Amino acid sequence: MSAPRRTGAGLFSADRTHTPVGTWLKIASGEPVEIMAYAGFDFVVIDLEHAPLDLQTAYRLINSAAALGMVPWVRVPDSTPSTIQKILDAGAMGILVPHVDTVGQAEAVGRACRFPPHGVRGAGGTSRAGAWGLRPDAEYRAVGNDDVLCVPQLESAEAIGAAPEILALDCVDAVFVGAADLSMSLGTTPGSPEVLAMIDSATEAAHAAGKRLGLAFGGMPERAARAVREGCDFVLLSNDTSMLAGAARGLVTAFREAEKA
């Protein structure tokens, strides 16, 4: 199975009739990437924050996802420019950064994703992102500045309050609201009226800035579809480990029930 290379910006095309749907990758193996591509996901997020994946593994998974026609994102474990630099050199087309609470933090993250004069990303044209030195330098820099998505993750009341200013930054392409951490920080649940109101506020800020907002819904596609109708622009459904765990438990449970019949 092969497909043309897709860019991060291409995922957010002008056609809003197709909502981009992705999933998290937490298993250090190429097979889940292939399965997600065959399943029809538009993008995958390689999770370096909550999974025991290292940079070398992320490097391989990025390549597999891109080769299979999906847009490879990486959720980095921290916001340091050196971490972001390595992930971008590896060919990631989207950077998801957890716990961005302030405009200053968002600007620093965004500048780490862009080449000068728009940011501080260093030149690494002999990396995969530069096709090992075979991509013309102007094209390499244009892809880095125009096609790679910088997506801060808003996970606190402070972050939601700063959302209009964060989204006004040219170096920020979209935001992702981490409802689970947001609700924990407030001492409530993801479905509470307080959290839902904050999500609505962030959604309004994103659309006012002409940008996108995303949410994760675990294994609840109906809830995700409802959120899209309410204004959500891209969604993440489940992850490779939970899909495997759910299918495994369901199979054993069904067998035990049938065994008693």
The catalytic residues are: 50
- One DSSP character per residue, the chain reads -------HHHHT-S-TTS--EEEEE-SSSSHHHHHHHHHT-SEEEEESSSS---HHHHHHHHHHHHHTTPEEEEE-SS--HHHHHHHHHTT-SEEEES---SHHHHHHHHHHTS-TTT--PPP-TTSGGGGGGTS-HHHHHHHHHHTSEEEEEE-SHHHHHTHHHHHT-TT--EEEE-HHHHHHHHTS-TTSHHHHHHHHHHHHHHHHTT-EEEEE-TT-HHHHHHHHHTT--EEEEEEHHHHHHHHHHHHHHHHHHHHH-
The greatest distance separating any two alpha carbons of the chain, rounded to the nearest whole angstrom, comes to 70
